[in-house]
Structure 1
Amino acid sequence: MKGYWIILGSDVTDPEAQRAYGKLWAPIAEKFGAKLKSLDSGAALKEAQTTRRVVVVEFASYERALACYADPAYEEAKQHALKASKRELLIVEGDFA
């Protein structure tokens, strides 16, 4: 079954850190076959207090999603993401459309 990261984020408060995250994320995503799924956060968020952005990242398997998160290269990238905005990240298994 596929694996997904579901990221609930606040507005980006540090655009430079967000850009750094994007640069570091690109090769990691390629390594793990991660695919960003388009989601209109404005339409999807029905009961949000601090969440302003929703990002879904699809992996071929739950194991790949876990391995990506545990990868040392992602640890470095994650530090930029956490500086860029407040967020919560869930890793789930399933077969979502």
Structure 2
Amino acid sequence: MKGYWIIFGTDIIDSAAQHAYSRLWAPISEKYNAKIKVLETGALVESHISTRVLTVEFPNYEQAKACYSDPAYAEAKQFAVRACHREMIIIEGNLA
């Protein structure tokens, strides 16, 4: 089954950090064959602070977990958490 990161985030508060994250994320996503899908604003029906929802699809759950544990992602994540407030879960399944 596929693996997914589901990320709930606020609006970007540090655009320079977001740009750095995007730059670092590109080769990581290629390595793990990850595909980002930004969900429509209407998908978020209940939230206290989140304004955005993204999914990152991986070929399988093991790759989703391995990507998160990758030292290259640890470096990139430092910028992601400065760019916005976010929460993330990793799940296994087949989302539509």
Q: What's the TM-score, normalizing by structure 1?
A: 0.96
Structure 1 regions of 5+ residues with no counterpart? Answer: none
> Which 5+ residue runs of structure 2 have no aligned equivalent?
none
On the 8 A contact 2:61/2:92 being kept in 1, the answer is yes
The residue that corresponds to 2:90 in the other structure is 91
Residue-pair matches, total: 96
Structure-1 separation of matches of 2:89 and 2:57: 12
- What does 1:2-21 align with in structure 2 at a 5 Å threshold? 2-21=2-21
Q: State TM-score, norm by structure 2.
A: 0.97
2:73 alignment partner in structure 1: 74
Report % sequence identity. Answer: 57
- Map of 1:20-39 to 2, 5 A cutoff? 20-39=20-39
RMSD: 0.6
User: Which amino acid in the other structure matches residue 92 of structure 2?
Assistant: E
Distance 2:84 2:23 in 1: 16
In structure 2, how many angstroms separate the alpha carbons of the residues matched to 1:38 and 1:75? 22
